Structure 1
Amino acid sequence: MTIVDIAKESGYSVTTVSRVLNNRQDVSPAAKETIMKIVEAHNFVPNTNAKRLKQTISRNIYLLVKGTSNMLFANVVEEIQSIIDRTDYSLSITYLDEDSNLSSVTDRICRERKPLGIIFLGGSREDFSEDTSSFKVPCVIVTTSAENWSMEELSSVSIDDEKAGETIVDYLIEHGHTKIAEIGANLELSQTARLRHNGYLNSLKKHGITPDERYYERARFSYDSAYRAMKKLLEKDIEITAVYAISDVMAIGALRAILDKGLRVPEDISITGFDGSTLAEYYNPKIVSIRQPHKDMAARSVELLFNMIDLHKGSCHEIIPFELTEGESVARID
């Protein structure tokens, strides 16, 4: 008996039978029960040699991570790895600098490694050209929406970064802050930075506050870079009562610069982060942040990729709900 025979007897496709035999999670309980009954009744044993040969040919998924200091990314990577470890796929992880362009890397991987699919963690529209060979295989980008990119082989899972940015700046304004500085990133290279900056501007406009470019400093997604950006803000001849940092890493770097200046958080300057990382939650003071549900994002990204690989489904773009987490880093002022 072969898996083709099992498929005929069960009424399910060969792909579904294969997923059951490889302990994949994307199978309905009813299908699994029916197929396993047939397997047990016929004492079916999978051909491990054939499976090993198939894996040798290509059962590889690539995960390309853009940025090495992002605490959210570390959590997503761990979750994706845990999910794929329970399947018959193997996972290869490559870390890139946040200013790197993904196009040449993905082209090289597709030519040399021939993966079944690619997951991008981070990235912007500018990172890809529409004729890049990476989009000849199913791809999913996580934490960035690709809904308007018009690329048929690319799905995405993200939160609404612009709305999230607006929400947390609204929170600051509701607590009496109008002199709000922003520590952002390279607006030309980072779609995430642009969207979170737009949220900042939307909130200011909504509350009748005129944006002032002196209140913006650019940094990389690292403690040291955010520390230096905060020092620049403090050296300017402007009044700052709160800082909106577009990541928790940046918030922690900026917070240290504030403390080193002899100021207090939140008594002198309030601060917010973005990502809802474990470190921000346990930092002193606990940082008000936007929590991105990393487990949901990881699970959906893998599921979308498997749907494209195994079921030949088209691309899909999902927005996952975010949550504003309360903390101790924002003071209410009159």
Structure 2
Amino acid sequence: EIETYAPTPEPSPAKPWFRVFLPQRVYLKLVESDPAEVTWRFRGEKGGFSGTHLEITPQGRDFNYQASGGTLKMALIPNLQLRDTHLLITKKLLTLYNLDLQSVGDAAGIIHAEGTAGTGEDRSVDFNFNFERIPVEEWLPRQWRKHVRGTASGKILWRGKNPKLESSTGEAKLRVDGGRIIELPFLENVAKITNEKALERLTLNDCSFALAWNYPKAEIKNIAIEERGKFRVVGRIQVEKKELSGTIELGVARYLLDWLPKPEEVFPHQHDGFLWTTVHLSGTTDAPQQDLSPRIMEVFKENPGAALGLLLRQFGEWLKNAFGGE
């Protein structure tokens, strides 16, 4: 025998007497929060906007978000001040109309972004970034910040079938103005070897390159780095799954090669005020290789007197440092 059960719902509570004064439907016009915290997780750390003024307004069944003021804090990048942002989020698409940021304490350094990202089955991304006069030292590892100066300008185009790096392609162009490299131990050692104190400090008159990537391949091209009267570097570098390749044309002023016996054997071409050589890159990004050092060592093997002079110069520098000599 099958027993049936007839539910007996509890009676609805009596409606209060003041219900006649309440609206049957409420339309949301504006949600405003000041200050607001908008946070998310990025690379396992908390990031987002703090101390911002946030306004949320409906657009049909979706919402517009606008914010101004406050600070953007995220892993891997320096803190940035938020000027203004406006985005629309629907069930299928996030549309970023604008995101305008500036460097903390420097109103001249600005970043602008706009683009779209799928929020439904389509997770594709398409964003454009433009930046002007951004201080480069703020974006470098801490140990490099006191050695490098300059302001960067350029643009980045980022596209992909989803936000993951493995699915992305893109292009970028970068130019550094007022570039300087100072008190870098590597340069100080080069200056000692060559007996040219001018190499302890580099002032870059030209520093630019373009980047194109289509994971897992990346190419740095149109490289142009120069300090007028000292050196110039042009060429391109390719990376694929950490495998490194590429060709660099290195031009050096003749007076900076006086330490090298027969420099024309290593730098066989002369034009635009420099002696030039071609440097081939190989190896990996963790252990890069180049063919310039072996050629220089070969010249010293053929000229042991010059190698001895270089060794004695290094020994003299060691004695000076050890005994505090001038």
**Which TM-score band applies after superposition, normalised by the shorter structure?**
under 0.3
TM-score between both structures, scaled by the size of structure 2: 0.26
Choose between structure 1 and 2: higher helix proportion.
1
The structure having more radius of gyration, on CA atoms, is: 2
TM-score between both structures, scaled by the size of structure 1: 0.26
